[in-house]
Structure 1
Amino acid sequence: MAKGKIEDILQAQAKVLYKYFLKLGVPHSDAEDIVQDTLYKTLVSIETMIVTNVKAWMFKVGLNVYHDYVRKKKRIDTVPIEVCQLIGSKAIEEELLQAELQEEIRAVFETMHVTYKHVLLLKYDYDLSYREIAQVLDMSEDVVRTTLYRARNVFKERYEVMKNGRG
């Protein structure tokens, strides 16, 4: 593979990883450090490894660096979902309803197990295939499917409980 092409792939994947870690609640400077460590480990290893899917492999390396970060910081995993951008032409009521919906989604998401958070984000925010998610999280594709199914059901169930609790 040409050196320029590898650099382009690594640079693009670094941006994706950075956004992913921000969604996991990692502060900007720490997300930059995690991505930098991931790129370093990738560059050191890429010559000696046979990697068929760079995207999934870098996610895996990045998640390992992230887990080291969490252990070092002894923080609780939280995954804030970004509040969607509000369009200035919408009515204020619609903007408030959208912001409230995003806050409800964030609140439910934060109560979920970290594995459920990862599979939901990797599937729906990053559009990874079951195979890629399996590679990233060291699971079989069948376990990914089952975990994703359970994560969706837990999310729906908790969301309904929260909505019904508010009346």
Structure 2
Amino acid sequence: MDLELLYQRYVNDLYRYLFSLSNDHYLAEDMVHETFYRAYLYLESSEVDAIKPWLFKVGYRVFIDYTRKRKRLILKEKLNEQLDYRTPEKHTIDKDGLQNLLRLIRTLSDNEAQAILLCDFHQLKLIEAADILNLNLNTLKSHLIRGRRKLRETLQKERSSK
């Protein structure tokens, strides 16, 4: 399988997914590159039928690895000092409506947020999203319904308070 063709076809979708998870442009770019590096290593010796869901699964694993590593680093940083990562660039991005929605999604449980990101934002099939998250299909459906309901309620509360 031609990795360059895969990269051209899926890099934007994968970047948007990883950006929605990390909320950091540079980190999302790094994770996209790590995902395609892992794909390159795997695809040298194996074939994958449904490549897009598989790439998303690899990207999700890259994100999980980063999150675990980051948690360890944060524990070390707390011993030293608290750092403020607010930059003018981030402040400008936060004003965007999509950023507000992503902020609300991050308030959901991990499984609910992942289900919404994969099914609604990236339009993966339910079975593909369930496979990526290693969940039963019915469990994924429950997370998706609950997450959507919580988002709808939160958005209605925000609109009524304005």
Pair in the same fold by TM > 0.5:
yes
Aligned CA-pair RMSD: 2.7
Secondary structure of 2:132's match?
Answer: helix
Offset at residue 112 of structure 1 (A): 1.3
Q: Is the 8 A contact 1:57 1:135 kept in 2?
A: no
Q: How many residues align?
A: 142
- Deviations 1:65-120 (CA, angstroms, capped at 9, x unpaired): 11111222237xxxxxxx8xxxxxxxxxxxxxxx7966764553332112212111
How far apart are the structure 1 equivalents of 2:23 and 2:65?
13
* Structure 1 residues 104 and 41, CA gap change in structure 2 (3 angstroms): closer
TM (normalized to structure 2)? Answer: 0.73
Structure 1 residue 137, shift from structure 2 partner = 1.1
Matched with 1:7 is: 4
Question: Structure 2 matches for 1:141-152, cutoff 5 A?
Answer: 141-152=137-148
| Structure 2: stretches of 5+ with no match in the other structure | 75-92
Structure with the higher fraction of residues in helix conformation? 2
- Name the aligned partner's letter for residue 108 of structure 1: L
**Secondary structure class of the residue paired with 2:142:** helix
Give TM-score scaled by structure 1 length: 0.71
**Structure 1 runs of 4+ off > 6 angstroms?**
none
Percentage of identical aligned residues: 28
Q: Please state how far the C-alpha of 1:38 moved relative to its aligned partner.
A: 0.8
